[in-house]
Chains A and B, each alone.
Chain A
């Protein structure tokens, strides 16, 4: 057990160094001459995050962009990778699936999360009720894979079923069904897994936002004769609009990037692949990093509409203020 002390010491040192660094920044910012104070504050507050982001994400993003125009041996091959992406037979299916994912997952998980957050707000046992929906988020990915195998598992007719859904089907007198093998339904069954996970995220964030809506406003609406639904639509919803945009955006981006669900449950077979899964497969399985990088760029293009939307929301917010 002696290792614990040594490890914790490392942690304490790291935290102390970090605290010293932040303290130093605050000191410099505070002592800055009045004329440059705003400028130095901006630099001081932003610099640590900016440096980390430049090194950790911007630089790799730039190298990835270059990589997208090279072949597996590293030679520049123009737009060949993009030609390949759009000429392979499954390309359109993969893109179609990605679109279905990015539309359905954010909508469904945000709706379920919001509904749940509202319904259990102030309910007895709120903490436990929240933990139940939060749990899928907290479970490891391997765990989630097995969980859904136990739900979708298939055995032929007449054999004892091991999957919950097929057991229900058989109990109702239906034939068992291979949920994951038949397109396009299988994509929906995979999406359900992602919704199941992400609802916990939207529920936690939205619940925190709902608690931030001033109670006076809700009460005022009630005194004006608004029913609960009207109170929700007219007071709560506008009050958490910012959080809703954040949740929708975050889940959309997470969905665009998700590949582990597809990879572990169908490996992209049976017409279930999505762009992020192809990216992973090409870069790390097939030894074609150029194609993987090209697919990453396509993901980037797909996220642009969301970026534009957020920029507009931001501008509106600034105008109101």
Chain B
């Protein structure tokens, strides 16, 4: 037993030696990638400079993000210090106010970015970035990065909302058709309910303090499809009140599905169980043949259990929520991140330019799981069938694209009263009551 006293230090030294050798060998291996920096020559040389980047992106997505700018670091000599936090939305304001902002912040919502720009914290984007965005993105996207006439942020990645997920095999077995219009979708809903083997829809709006947000996507989809992009824009910018009859009717249209116990909520319970079902799990009954359809953005692809094949002939696939009037063409709602700078140092501006470039979009998309609305993106880089489908939709000239409305609204509405309104709406309040109360919460100034 006496020897035990020596055992620990010896073991510790051994482990430390091992770790040290592992570390050093790891570093040797790193710069072994191909040294072709020609594509990065324009960004200049920023040896020894550090760029701090802060965003909501964590875990696997963060690792992929870091991988996609590794080449930029290698070729420009700059080091990127990345920090991801799910508390980004609250923390960015704290840090900026305290004068301790990161160089670059990747905003998940334009509304939050606009607050920071109006507070005078963000630096306007340099001309090079502005030009790149003109070249690579549609004018709409540039508008989302513009606050009071000044262009601040280039878009990074995009997500496509409004997908309706279903199991192709189930549809085939039952002889159900993918609907072409909203009315057809309602007919299908009724058909599935009458069939009786499963409920037509499953939904889950639970998301901690953000509970309710998946419901805002439903409303946005209906407003854009039923009333068209003009009304949608007016609604988002508060040119028409939130309780405008057209918006109330959009709530009712969505409610025809969501608030009918016959139509929801397979595997979980009644209408109100939507509120206690986590959004990431809500789609799974589709796989188990318990419900026919689930409404969620393209990022639902990562919520399926490991091993699920997402493809037109796979376990699960998605169609875009159809338009009310097929002749008017498809309109889709989407979202995306915005890259804003708190510094105008040359290395930071070079990084901004890189993030707006087709290089970045291609590198990141190639790593899988995300898409971008960058026109320079080669669709061949898409890693999955769904990514391919999303990119095609984003790049299709005939598609009317609108940014997620709740993300564009002021924080008091878009990330507070709208969510809460959805919750009380599902919990039994009428469309009129809910829209009235959201309208009254819209900031006066």
Genuine A/B complex = yes
CA–CA, A285 to B270, complex, Å?
30
Binds B, one of A21-29, A152-160, A247-255: A152-160
CA–CA, A41 to B141, complex, Å?
66
Contacts of A6 in B (CB 8 A): none
Shortest A187–chain B CB gap in Å is 15
Interface size, chain B (Cβ < 8 Å) = 37
Binds A, one of B12-20, B124-132, B184-192, B346-354: B12-20
CA–CA, A284 to B210, complex, Å?
13
B16-A2 in contact (CB<8A): yes
With both beta carbons as reference points, the residue of chain A lying nearest to B416 in the complex is identified as A286
Contacts of A284 in B (CB 8 A): 89-90, 93
Main secondary structure of the interface of B (DSSP, over half): helix
CA–CA, A286 to B423, complex, Å?
17
CA–CA, A170 to B443, complex, Å?
46
Question: Of B20, B115, B427, B437, which is within 8 A of A181 by CB?
Answer: B427
With both beta carbons as reference points, the residue of chain A lying nearest to B12 in the complex is identified as A1
Shortest A241–chain B CB gap in Å is 40
Q: Does B159 contact A (CB under 8 A)?
A: no
Tally the A-B contacts, defined by beta carbons under 8 Å.
Answer: 85
Q: Does A121 contact B (CB under 8 A)?
A: no
B410-A287 in contact (CB<8A): yes
CA–CA, A181 to B211, complex, Å?
13
Q: Does B77 contact A (CB under 8 A)?
A: no
B445-A178 in contact (CB<8A): no
A267-B210 in contact (CB<8A): yes
Contacts of B20 in A (CB 8 A): 1-2
Question: Of A154, A264, A285, which is within 8 A of B276 by CB?
Answer: A154
A1-B19 in contact (CB<8A): yes
CA–CA, A181 to B115, complex, Å?
33
B267-A159 in contact (CB<8A): yes
Contacts of A281 in B (CB 8 A): 209, 416
A288-B412 in contact (CB<8A): yes
A155-B210 in contact (CB<8A): no
Interface string of A256-269 (1 = CB under 8 A from B): 00000001101111
A1-B16 in contact (CB<8A): yes
Contacts of B211 in A (CB 8 A): 266-267, 269
Shortest A125–chain B CB gap in Å is 28
CA–CA, A312 to B20, complex, Å?
62
CA–CA, A285 to B273, complex, Å?
25
A156-B268 in contact (CB<8A): yes
Contacts of A178 in B (CB 8 A): 272-273, 276
Q: Which residues of B408-429 have CB atoms within 8 Å of chain A's CB atoms? A: 410-412, 415-417, 419-420, 423-424, 427
Q: Which residues of B1-45 have CB atoms within 8 Å of chain A's CB atoms? A: 15-16, 19-20, 23
Question: Of A153, A157, A267, which is within 8 A of B208 by CB?
Answer: A267
Query: Can you name 16 A-B pairs with beta carbons within 8 Å?
Result: A1-B15, A2-B16, A72-B443, A155-B273, A156-B268, A156-B273, A157-B269, A159-B269, A267-B210, A267-B211, A267-B423, A284-B89, A285-B90, A285-B209, A286-B415, A286-B417
Q: A269-B424, A285-B89, A285-B90 are in contact. List 8 more A-B contacts (CB 8 A).
A: A2-B16, A2-B23, A156-B270, A159-B267, A180-B276, A267-B210, A267-B211, A284-B93
Interface residues of B (CB under 8 A from A): 15-16, 19-20, 23, 89-90, 93, 115, 208-212, 265, 267-270, 272-273, 275-276, 410-412, 415-417, 419-420, 423-424, 427, 437, 443, 445
Interface residues of A (CB under 8 A from B): 1-2, 71-73, 89, 153-157, 159, 176, 178, 180-181, 263-264, 266-270, 281, 284-288
